[in-house]
Structure 1
Amino acid sequence: MFEPTEAADRPVRLLGFWGTPENRTLPDPAGLVDPDWDEAQRLWVADYLAHGLVAGNWMGASRCRLCSRANGSRDLTDGHYLWPEGLAHYVLDHGVRLPAEFLDHIERRSRALEELERDGSWWQRNAART
């Protein structure tokens, strides 16, 4: 699905990093809450976010800017986007809506995975060798 060398050709896009009183250049999650966002789509997006590859670990846990819950200490990635571990919480529990471009991205990736041609011959040959 993702080879680390793929990312070397382009920067990953940051997603779900929030502004602070000291740095207001990033968004405030409260401004992205959409109470009408379909729950099934939120569950689907949160699941995708929760299953990213670990791209970094930090010393302290982040806190949710909306409810103060401990929200993880890792950054996750799919090789195209990079987000904080707690972003799934914002989506699922607070309805923080992410950009349509990102939703389209995960739809394309999910479809591509579903359409993969499957070949069990390698596994059949090599399982006997273990």
Structure 2
Amino acid sequence: MLKKIGFWIENLDDQYQPPQLFVGGMDPADKEMVAAYLDRGVTYLVYRGYSWCRFQCGAGGAVMGNCDLTDGEWYWPSSLSHYLRSHDIRLPEEFITHVRQNRSRDFRRTTLDELLNECSHRNEKREEDDIWIRWCNEQVPDAIRERRNEAIIEAKREHLVLMEEEFRKTEEDVGLSSQVCLFQGCQHHALKDKFFCVRCIHKAGGQEYSGQLAKKLYEFLDELNDKLLRSEKD
């Protein structure tokens, strides 16, 4: 199993962390050595869309890329070198040591299959533990965890408000039955010519609040960026 590194938050409720929490602390000489190594990786996975910078610096698709790269033991987003060079993020010492030991290799001269076969015996021996996620989680301040959870709650609350507006509009457009919704415990009237109310029909389809989560994610990242700017000025 390949070890992952350099994957950042995509949704407020996913397992990854924002890169703003890992700025600074990496030796400049190591940083450029690692960034160059990352750029020499072999294409491992290709995605339909380009990645985007979590610092919202405006880096374009060509910089951020649309694939993951690998050296046969680790794999990372092709944009990871951008975070090192442009935003001074640090990486686990375990990976830096690994790069030092293999810094002279240019993996682009090797096919993906050759690379994976070459490293398969080492990959089979590693523990079933996500080193990257564990390393990141160990460094996240409690205040950031709490703020992230608050943002999720805010997203759900905003979603419910928006959906209630949609429910009322549907009731006005479709009309209501004189019968109460048949869903156990529900006291709302069913929609006209239906057995259930609009809320229970929506609930059966699964409530989605991805739009509000995305909005809150950008707000959360903006807060972290502002915090970084204030600390730099201080």
- SS at 2:13 equivalent: coil
Q: Which amino acid aligns with 1:16?
A: G
Matches within 5 A, 1:44-83: 44-66=33-55, 67-70=57-60, 71-83=64-76
In structure 2, C-alpha distance between the alignment counterparts of 1:111 and 1:62, rounded to whole Å? 28
Unaligned runs of 5+ in 2: 107-234
Taking a change above 3 Å as real, the CA distance of residues 47 and 72 of structure 1, as seen in their structure-2 partners, is: same
TM-score (norm 2): 0.41
- SS at 2:69 equivalent: strand
Q: Which amino acid aligns with 1:90?
A: Y
TM-score (norm 1): 0.71
Q: Which amino acid aligns with 1:87?
A: L
Which residue is 2:4 aligned to?
A: 14
Deviation at 1:106, TM superposition (A): 0.8
1:47-69 C-alpha deviation (Å, 9 max, x unpaired): 00011000011111001101241
- Tell me, yes or no, if the aligned pair for 2:30 and 2:96 is still in contact at 8 Å: no
Taking a change above 3 Å as real, the CA distance of residues 112 and 84 of structure 1, as seen in their structure-2 partners, is: closer
In structure 2, C-alpha distance between the alignment counterparts of 1:110 and 1:48, rounded to whole Å? 6
Q: How many residues align?
A: 102
Taking a change above 3 Å as real, the CA distance of residues 112 and 47 of structure 1, as seen in their structure-2 partners, is: closer
- SS at 1:41 equivalent: helix
- Tell me, yes or no, if the aligned pair for 2:8 and 2:18 is still in contact at 8 Å: yes
Question: Does 1 or 2 have the higher relative contact order (CA < 8 Å, sep 6+)?
Answer: 1
Q: Which amino acid aligns with 2:96?
A: L
Segments ≥4 residues shifted beyond 2 Å: 20-24, 36-40, 110-113
Which residue is 1:28 aligned to?
A: 18
1:23-43 C-alpha deviation (Å, 9 max, x unpaired): 341121000111x53322211
More off after superposition, 97-106 vs 22-31: 22-31
Q: Which has the higher helix share?
A: 2
In structure 2, C-alpha distance between the alignment counterparts of 1:93 and 1:39, rounded to whole Å? 12
Identity of aligned residues (%): 34
In structure 1, C-alpha distance between the alignment counterparts of 2:70 and 2:89, rounded to whole Å? 19
Deviation at 1:108, TM superposition (A): 1.4
- SS at 1:42 equivalent: helix
Unaligned runs of 5+ in 1: 1-10, 114-130
Which residue is 2:84 aligned to?
A: 91
Root-mean-square deviation (CA, aligned residues, Å) is 1.9
Which residue is 1:122 aligned to?
A: none
If you compute each CA radius of gyration, which structure gives the higher value, 1 or 2?
2
